Amino acid sequence: MKMIAAAVVAVIAAMAAAGFAWQKSQALEGTKAELANARSQLQKASDDVLAMRAETTALRKEFAEQKLAADRSRAELATAQVFLDAEKAAGARLREELMKAKAQLASTSKPRSVQGAPVVRRVPAQPMVIRVVPSGSAVSNPSPSSPAVGYGVPAR
């Protein structure tokens, strides 16, 4: 009986060892599955990081281009502002010159009542004497001393 008891204890120990081994095997398989899942997720994350790096590079390039365009626009704006200020100054200067010219024109067109100013008198023009030539005599007797209208005279 001792032998049977020893055999039963040995069978129970063997079964316990097999159950323990099976449990460890199951835990190992579960751990392997979790490891494969973690590796898969790591690969996805690595691929995502590479894609994000490429996108970041493209965005940095686009940002640099837009910054350059913004700098050019600022420079053009500054140039336009300087031009506009110069045009405003030129317009103000022209308005000032126009006002001076209007003032001079107004002062010259005003009657002068100053005592030392010369008085301008208009002298009536003498009437011109116009002589009418009889029309028949000039045409019928053309001469170089008195050419008629429409009669060609050589240059002198």
Domain that holds residue 7: 2-106
Q: How far apart are the C-alpha atoms of 28 and 123, rounded to whole Å?
A: 134
Domain count, the chain: 1
Establish if 32 belongs to a structural domain. Answer: yes
Q: Which helix H or strand E contains 108, and what residues bound it?
A: helix 2-109
* Average pLDDT of the residues in 62-70: 97
Report the b/e string of 29-49 with b at 16+ CB within 10 A.
Answer: eeeeeeeeeeeeeeeeeeeee
Residue 150 has pLDDT above 50, yes or no: yes
Q: What per-residue confidence (pLDDT) applies to 92? A: 96
Q: Global pTM? A: 0.41
Establish if 117 belongs to a structural domain. Answer: no
Q: What per-residue confidence (pLDDT) applies to 63? A: 97
Residue 138 has pLDDT above 50, yes or no: no
Establish if 148 belongs to a structural domain. Answer: no
Mean pLDDT in the chain?
84
Establish if 131 belongs to a structural domain. Answer: no
Establish if 129 belongs to a structural domain. Answer: no
128 contact partners, CB below 8 Å, separation of at least 6: none
Establish if 128 belongs to a structural domain. Answer: no
Establish if 25 belongs to a structural domain. Answer: yes
pLDDT band at 121 (very low <50, low <70, confident <90, very high): confident
Residue 113 has pLDDT above 70, yes or no: no
Handedness of CA 70, 75, 76, 81 (dihedral sign): positive
Q: How far apart are the C-alpha atoms of 39 and 32, rounded to whole Å?
A: 10
